[in-house]
Chain A
Amino acid sequence: MSHDMSENLPEAHGASHGTDVVSHDDPFADPGLPAHEPRRTDIDERAAKRAERQVSLLFVVSMLATIGFIASYASIDADKLVYIFPLGKVSALNFALGTTLGVALFCIGAGAVHWARTLMSDHELPAERHPIEADDDVRNDVIEQFKTGAAESGFGRRKMIRNTLIGSMALVPLSGVVLLRDLGPLPEKKLLHTGWVDATASRPIKLVNMNTNEPMKPEDIVQGSLTFAKPEGLEESAEDFQQQIAKDALMIVRIAPEDIKDSESRDKGFEGILAYSKICTHVGCPISLYEQQTHHALCPCHQSTFDLADGARVIFGPAGHPLPQLKITTDEQGFLIATGDFDEPVGPSYWERPR
């Protein structure tokens, strides 16, 4: 290959390197390639031998590292721990496997690069560019063939065929669009309601502590505390528990009634106990970074901040709605209960959201 291309090199065109690169009659003439400089390994056989040994050494180190990998896999106990300075206490096996495999791969790469730089031919080879378009004969021939084909098919003359063909081609993709319906059932009213929707004044649902799985009484909830609750009857063993808890989860806080700025929010609570949806109204992250002195709840995903003392008003961040609040009260046994659903959908906004 290099022999074929050598006629393109500047020497072949009579350019002499280094001395007279600019032709006097044309100040912008192609100066050609700079002269080829030999490497030490090209002119010094001992340097070449040394480079050869270095490349081989790298390959040998790679071989040893691979053997080391196999040996560590076979010999090091998976539970053994070692202390290695910046990492701390790490698994000896993982560390040995990673290091040996890393060395084995690195040495192959480093050897190949060193080989290419020192010993493989480094003669510069210009590759001439050619125009991409075909020559006129071929182009005319293709155009002629296209015109003949168009005339013979009568595509331009028989307009009814043309129009129905365009119509059928336009409709075909619709069958693919219709199949998208199989992606799942329509959401219907699911986004509008949560599991608390089954609660009524005559059949209330108790609030159940997520920690103890027991219903709660108002005196259990002290000021400054944080508790998570779910509706009674929703068990973790239920098949759809994850889907349900993603809507039903409550964050229960207790704020001194005189500190609650929003009277509607105070009325929905019970003696300062407020039950807010735990689902952020931005994109639905579980939000529970509650600061008990400022009464702020922070969403860890995008830093939306809600003031739970002021009806969960958004005071910072991208959330568009306050956190929905569940109206709670107590039953005759003194347990905290809900007698209805949230007033508005929980979680992120969507097109059909009522408000």
Chain B
Amino acid sequence: MKKLSARRRHPLAAVVVLLLALAATGGLYAAFAPAEKAQADSSAQSLAIDEGKKLFAVGCSSCHGLNGQGTSDGPSLVGVGSAAVDFQVGTGRMPAQQPGAQVPRKKNIYSQAEIDQLAAYVASLGPGPVAPTTEQYEPSTNATTNAEQVAKGGELFRTNCAQCHNFAGKGGALTNGKYAPSLEGVDAKHIYEAMQTGPQNMPSFPDTTMPEEQKREIVAFVRHTNDEPNQGGLALGSLGPVTEGLFGWIFGLGTLIAIAIWVAAHTTKAKKS
């Protein structure tokens, strides 16, 4: 204490006090503000819908219409459900960058709270698939159960998903510029929602034909495949023997031929001609 009071007239004392005061104010605000907000959310669903309608008017209505009824530029959102909104906005696909064969994944500019408000508004337009909870999409953390889910998920993935997304989830081409995107680095929730809602040209896999548990198993498999180390070195997009053969013949053999030509072109003669 003596040390502190001894320095109270130091030229930097005022600055230190100011910084401490600012940190305390900011810290207290951060500690209390979100709590109040969460209370407001849970207490008033209609408030979220109102907020969502405002966000919708700004970001979505130019294509989907002021009431989400759809226009020539965008489909109707009646009955698409909160899961579709959470997927499309959460992966940055919506708002769309430009019209085209397919709307690509890009950086998401909305906070999760804003997405939830948008989803609440769109869900209020008509009943549809509901955004899943963590227990629904998150695979088991128990190692044995998880391994079981990965094994079953692999089988389901090869039956239902691999034809478009490639057996290692690297994605692939479809017709007229459309494509199945890579599943690398996609959130478990978004994979689950994509299966639920069938975004863009992807068919949906509703709970009636693919139960929740099976979707969770597919999520477990995709996550396992993404995290899996590459035992064989360069995967070349996991496209299989065609790319590997092409690479071997053109680049492997090409390098050998280039070396042979280089060796033969450089004379060892003392008098260079």
Contact = CB atoms under 8 A, between A and B. Distances in A.
A58 interface: no
A298 B268 CA distance: 59
B243 interface: no
B234 A87 contact: yes
Please classify how large the interface on chain A is, using the bins under 10, 10 to 19, 20 to 34, 35 or more: 35 or more
Interface in A205-241: 209-212, 216, 219-222, 224-228
A221 B175 contact: no
Contact of B203 (A37, A117, A253, A287): A253
A342 interface: no
Interface of B: 156, 159-160, 163-164, 172, 174-175, 178, 180, 198, 200-206, 208-211, 214, 229-234, 263, 268-271, 273
A156 interface: no
Given A37-B269, A38-B269, A211 B209 contact: yes
Interface string A99-132: 0000000000000010001100010000000000
Given A94-B231, A292-B198, A294-B201, A211 B159 contact: yes
A117 B175 contact: no
A220 B233 CA distance: 44
Interface stretch (A40-48, A133-141, A191-199): A40-48
A34 to B, nearest CB: 9
Contact of A226 (B203, B214, B233): B203
Contacts of A300: 163, 172
Kindly name the residue among B164, B203, B230 whose own CB sees the greatest number of chain A CB atoms within 10 A.
Answer: B203
B209 A209 contact: yes
A42 B271 CA distance: 12
A95 B231 CA distance: 9
Contacts, number: 114
Given A89-B230, A113-B263, A211-B160, A291 B174 contact: yes
A305 B175 contact: yes
Given A39-B268, A41-B268, A216 B209 contact: yes
A67 interface: no
B208 A219 contact: yes
Nearest to A81: B229
A220 B209 contact: yes
B214 A43 contact: no
Contacts of A37: 269-271, 273
Nearest to A47: B270
28 contacts: A37-B269, A37-B270, A37-B273, A38-B269, A39-B270, A40-B269, A40-B270, A44-B270, A89-B230, A91-B229, A95-B233, A209-B209, A211-B156, A211-B209, A216-B208, A220-B208, A222-B206, A224-B204, A227-B209, A288-B163, A289-B174, A289-B180, A292-B201, A296-B175, A300-B163, A300-B172, A303-B175, A305-B175
